[in-house]
């Protein structure tokens, strides 16, 4: 099994995608451990000097001016964890929790949080043994970090509450035993270092990014098949057009459409037809999908930086002996990235739904109504397009920016928050909706290609069509439709599909 070294400043999106997928182990390097020990020593030195430092020997939030006596410092950290466990909702998935653990370990390993190595080693042991804290999905506003969900993560370290192992919920005590480690008694600063930070918001948004990358890849393929199915022109993909626009995503996507459609027999069959222009959902794909790709890349860059960031508070600077209180826990960059991804994904689905509507309409293309023979007796793709429309419409609501909302918390001490956690969490629903839309488009486009036989599409697209036909047969008459959609949804998430386009995607680059 591959072991990924979590090195602060060097963690990549490709590594994070592997972590989300599972079947990897993690560790940190020796240089990180040295920095962690030095930072923990700085905390001890400050306590010896009797200086008041937020969260180390004071209360929290509005009670930051309350000095805590030395005998109660360990209780302070434990109480912090317990009192902040106020989350609600279903637990986060194992994939998201793996990301949360990896991100928190990376942040702590930078040596600016003041925790002892035992805290990091215990988190690593939990990850490597598949012991995943039960983290409720709801309860964070994305500042002061993801307090409630990270508190639930931290419960496992102190032997409280429950964890999940191989899909079964067990006690945290049993989980620690399976991982071969003891419960941690938190030292000064450690509870705060665990709870502060943007790791849950970032993990949720990364999980959404990876799903939206898969959406993008499958939409480019489905859109290419739709061009041939509708006997659309490849002239709008000419490199000269896109060079004049100067938008990098558009240029790259147009090149991909040219590559996928190259040497199509169907295209050659109507090269001299009298159609002047295709509908926008066909010919403007480079402009729309290219813009989406640019935004995906922009959001991905923000998230990769955030994955390598130190976002708890206060921060330890051992070289100067300083402990500084700031606001790196505010997840505004993550909220913006999530909102950008939500809009891009929704547009990917919106234009795909329009291509479905095009393919089923005999007034627009020379194909049977609703892509089925013996229409009337058979309804064909009529209601499948309705489903796609419903999903696209739902995404319009889900894509409303979360970052523009803020409610003050903690008696107005935390008077502006990011809402990044919800911004990231709703990406999974958006991506699943888009996955459904594109699955329907892929089925419709492959169905339409069958009406063009014996002519063939390009070699690349014929391989894609064969992959679809391996899980969903030609729709010769009405049958139970939902299993076909479910099968193609699963296919579109696989390497068999995104492998054609992954050279454009940030977590594959």
CA angle 334, 340, 342 (to 5 degrees): 100
Select from 295, 200, 208, 196 the least CA-distant residue to 13: 208
* Non-local CB neighbours of 89 within 8 Å, separated by 6+ positions: 136, 137, 138, 139
Phi-psi region of 190 (alpha: psi -120 to 50; beta: other; left: phi over 0): alpha
| Token duo for residue 231 | 């006997």
The set of catalytic residues is 54
The H or E element that residue 25 is part of is strand 24-27
Structure token pair of residue 151: 């508190």
Q: How far apart are CA 27 and CA 423, in angstroms?
A: 30
Residues 6+ apart with CB under 8 A from 226: 232, 282, 355, 358, 359, 441, 444, 445, 448
Count Cβ neighbours within 10 Å for each residue of 247-284 and write b for 16 or more, e otherwise: bebbbbbbebbbebbeebebbeeeeeeeeeebeebbbe
Q: Helices marked H in 180-275 — which ranges?
A: 190-195, 199-229, 239-245, 248-261, 265-269
Give CA separation, 313 vs 114, 144, 195, 203, 369, in Å: 10, 9, 9, 19, 62
Cα–Cα distance between 334 and 299 in angstroms, integer?
8
Reading the block at residue 250, the tokens are 């558009």
Q: Helix crossing, 199-229 with 285-307: angle to 10°? A: 160
């Amino acid at each position: 099994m591959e072991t990924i070294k979590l090195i602060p400043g060097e963690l990549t999106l490709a590594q994070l995608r592997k972590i989300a997928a599972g079947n990897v182990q993690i560790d940190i390097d020796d240089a990180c451990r040295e920095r962690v020990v030095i930072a923990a020593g700085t905390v001890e030195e400050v306590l010896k000097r009797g200086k008041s430092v937020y969260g180390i020997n004071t209360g929290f939030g509005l009670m930051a001016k309350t000095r805590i006596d030395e005998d109660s410092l360990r209780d302070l950290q434990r109480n912090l964890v317990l009192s902040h466990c106020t989350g609600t909702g279903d637990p986060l998935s194992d994939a998201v929790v793996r990301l949360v653990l990896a991100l928190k370990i990376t942040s702590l390993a930078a040596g600016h949080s003041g925790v002892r190595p035992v805290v990091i080693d215990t988190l690593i042991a939990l990850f490597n043994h598949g012991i995943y804290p039960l983290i409720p999905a709801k309860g964070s506003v994305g500042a002061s970090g993801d307090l409630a969900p990270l508190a639930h993560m931290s419960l496992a370290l102190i032997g409280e509450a429950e964890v999940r192992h191989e899909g079964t919920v067990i006690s945290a005590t049993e989980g620690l035993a399976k991982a071969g480690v003891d419960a941690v008694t938190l030292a000064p600063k450690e509870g705060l270092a665990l709870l502060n930070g943007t790791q849950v918001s970032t993990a949720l948004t990364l999980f959404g990014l990876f799903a939206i990358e898969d959406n993008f890849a499958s939409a480019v393929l489905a859109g290419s098949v739709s061009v041939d199915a509708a006997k659309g022109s490849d002239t709008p993909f000419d490199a000269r057009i896109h060079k004049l626009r100067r938008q990098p995503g558009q240029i790259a996507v147009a090149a991909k459409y040219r590559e996928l459609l190259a040497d199509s027999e169907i295209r050659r069959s109507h090269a001299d037809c009298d159609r002047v222009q295709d509908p926008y959902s066909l010919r403007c794909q480079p402009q729309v999908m290219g813009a989406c790709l640019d935004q995906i890349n922009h959001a991905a860059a923000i998230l990769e930086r955030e994955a390598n960031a130190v976002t708890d508070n206060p921060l330890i600077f051992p070289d100067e002996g300083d402990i500084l209180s700031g606001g790196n826990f505010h997840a505004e960059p993550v909220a913006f990235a999530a909102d950008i991804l939500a809009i891009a994904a929704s547009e990917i689905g919106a234009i795909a739904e329009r291509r479905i509507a095009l393919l089923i309409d005999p007034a627009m293309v020379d194909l049977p109504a609703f892509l089925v023979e013996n229409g009337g007796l058979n309804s064909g793709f009529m209601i499948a397009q309705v489903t796609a429309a419903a999903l696209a419409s739902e995404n319009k609501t889900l894509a409303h920016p979360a970052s523009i909302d803020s409610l003050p918390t903690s008696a107005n001490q935390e008077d502006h928050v990011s809402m990044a956690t919800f911004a990231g969490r709703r990406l999974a629903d958006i991506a699943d909706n888009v996955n459904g839309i594109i699955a329907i488009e892929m089925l419709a486009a492959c169905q339409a290609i069958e009406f063009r036989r014996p002519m063939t599409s390009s070699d690349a697209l014929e391989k894609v069509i064969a992959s679809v036909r391996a899980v969903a047969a030609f729709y010769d008459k009405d049958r139970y439709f939902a299993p076909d959609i479910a099968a193609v949804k699963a296919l579109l998430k696989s390497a068999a599909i995104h492998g054609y386009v992954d050279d454009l995607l940030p977590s594959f680059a």
